[in-house]
Chains A and B, each alone.
Chain A
């Protein structure tokens, strides 16, 4: 990652000024240049960036920063505050109708993920005890209706369709009637993807809106969207007066700067984040977490939460003590791999660690099932001494282990390397700044 750990960078910029007494406007500018780069690399629209930097600067020039003993910290805090603020402050729930059914319309560009999101949203609401109805209103894309039907069946939610022969407006109108008579309290309309500059199709959305009077219109946006996100969001908002935004494909390594651009241009909240292809992978959006992700500071909170969900507190404590005493062994390694695996795909987990998202040397850490089995086989072929004291592993021992585990010497070498990298990772996690440690009783005590 080009801008690695922004927070570290900013600390550096200010650390150089320590003991010089006063910060000048120039010092602040230097730091904000780093922030600007991070934002641009994250695809925040450049006009939004300018505006944002201007606002941060005026705050940073105030007494609270310049007088502070830790100006670096203060600037990071201001940047984070402002970002979080712009992204909507706190999570904003879906608008529900006082008298059901609640009608939710999903709109967006082609390929942004509307159909999958519709099914995920329906599943989520179904779990909360609602009785949703999905409406297949994409009559244009080949097999779009079929796609929604298959997804509906998977999540056990009924899907209303009238084939491709009817106009989307008529389909949506009929769906409302159908939903009313079938006692559905939420109706979700999956509309066809369209370009924001396609007048005819944008007009069609306006007509659907008029016909069904939705309580919520959500713009579905791909987290990988670039500078054009502002044009897209402004156009959809202008025509439809959006209620909010769903950000999709956040399970990749996109920084998601589009979120910030959209928030800045429309002022509309981001309500959900889609994090995977599984139909349960929809989460309520957390502006604070997104803020640090955009800046490349990692998503520490999500990481801690995930860790706390799956880690056995007692074991964590024991492991922490071993780590401190530098007794971390291959046995612990195996144990820990298994636990981390329960937290979710490792690539996602790494993406949440400050400064590690995209770190080249850690890509080898991506494990899938077959690799994990290999790891197990290799460790099982080690003698107990070797497991406890990895420095014993010389060439001939490695050869023996490879033979014993049905793997190659390269496999063994790779594992030993990963083992060492994991130790590095521990070190890195262990050097979080003190303030963050307090946030978690569990996971971070691991490293204390």
Chain B
């Protein structure tokens, strides 16, 4: 899909896989048109702006995981706007919709913060398997490349071999690491890492935490404690608390964002695995309903596969051809 083409460096287009699509079509034959066609095709299918066009738009957005609530809000807004502007040409819909989506994403957007005081501190949180540790590694590499000295805090002391995994990323990126033993108190790791960061004069401290489901109150309390201890050692809040969200996630990501917000007030989202076919439209809902901006995106497993988030590119990708 579009993201792959936008971000895969030095590689050709994503391979076509007619077999799979055919199979999918066959499996769902009874359903009406295939709506993986993207906005352009939807618009081309109508000679004038009519109700069925809005319905197809709805389906396009739902298919991108934008979610029912945000989709309905968007389409209602669009319907009203078209009416007020007395618009009849379907082609007029595209810029309107894109603009509105960018507004939603842009209204709370801000670049990755850097601390006024050194070290700049990032705390990385999220549910299991979303890509936290990999993101920490990529981010460390990016900072190192910019000539900044980076220290990693291995505060996932829970998952088997999580510390070893982060050590590999430290080695790959050239960052230093502070770790305790498996099973140790993660807040103590965060504290030690903060002290070490100050003592060693590093530019950036990045803390990896264990994946946790947002519904587990004891694990969320643990995370709150990590943040509290970290803030106490620093004398201020971390510069960013980054919630890592897997682009493949559906509506549950809203619940994740809300519950993490209730615990540690994330300052932004990292949207990972955009190199797949998932569109990650859930971040629109997260921006609209929870007010959390996207700061970074992950586009692969490699050390360089981290990008800044650009609302324009993202909106284009969501409205483009499907997978």
Within 8 A of A (CB), among B203-222: 213-218, 221
Question: Which of B62, B64, B162, B215 gathers most chain A CB within 10 Å?
Answer: B215
B28 touches A265 (CB 8 A): yes
Residue in A40, A47, A223, A358 whose CB lies within 8 Å of B68:
A40
Tell me if A177 counts as interface (CB < 8 A to partner B). Answer: no
Label chain B's interface by main secondary structure: loop
Tell me if B277 counts as interface (CB < 8 A to partner A). Answer: yes
Cα(A197)–Cα(B128), bound, Å: 23
Tell me if B129 counts as interface (CB < 8 A to partner A). Answer: yes
Chain A residues contacting B146 (CB-CB under 8 Å) are none
Cα(A109)–Cα(B216), bound, Å: 24
A197 touches B14 (CB 8 A): yes
Residue in A141, A199, A264, A358 whose CB lies within 8 Å of B15:
A199
Tell me if A129 counts as interface (CB < 8 A to partner B). Answer: no
Tell me if A432 counts as interface (CB < 8 A to partner B). Answer: no
A198 to chain B, nearest CB (A): 9
Chain A residues contacting B278 (CB-CB under 8 Å) are 226-228
Interface size class of A (residues with CB under 8 A): 35 or more
Chain B residues contacting A231 (CB-CB under 8 Å) are 20, 24, 277, 323
Tell me if B84 counts as interface (CB < 8 A to partner A). Answer: no
A289 to chain B, nearest CB (A): 18
Tell me if A122 counts as interface (CB < 8 A to partner B). Answer: no
Interface size class of B (residues with CB under 8 A): 35 or more
Tell me if A48 counts as interface (CB < 8 A to partner B). Answer: yes
A141 to chain B, nearest CB (A): 7
A224 touches B69 (CB 8 A): no
* A-B residue pair count with CB separations less than 8 angstroms: 187
A196 touches B276 (CB 8 A): yes
Cα(A128)–Cα(B213), bound, Å: 29
Q: Which of A6-14, A247-255, A330-338 contacts B (4 or more CB under 8 A)?
A: A247-255
**Interface CB pairs A-B, < 8 A, 14:** A37-B68, A46-B35, A47-B31, A50-B32, A51-B31, A54-B30, A140-B301, A142-B169, A195-B276, A199-B15, A228-B276, A249-B128, A252-B127, A366-B217
Given known contacts A40-B62, A113-B129, A197-B277, what 16 new A-B pairs fall within 8 Å (CB)?
Answer: A41-B251, A43-B251, A47-B28, A112-B129, A146-B160, A147-B161, A196-B277, A197-B14, A224-B250, A224-B253, A227-B278, A228-B323, A232-B277, A249-B127, A345-B216, A347-B217
- Which residues from chain A sit less than 8 Å from chain B, CB to CB? 2, 37, 40-43, 45-48, 50-51, 54, 109-113, 140-144, 146-151, 154, 195-197, 199, 222-232, 234-235, 238, 249, 251-255, 257-258, 264-267, 277, 345, 347-348, 351, 358, 366-369
**Closest 4 A/B residue pairs (Cβ):** A226-B250, A111-B129, A43-B250, A142-B168
- Which residues from chain B sit less than 8 Å from chain A, CB to CB? 4, 14-15, 17, 19-20, 23-24, 27-28, 30-32, 34-35, 59, 62-65, 67-69, 127-131, 159-162, 164-165, 167-169, 182, 213-218, 221, 246, 248-253, 255, 273, 275-279, 282, 301, 323
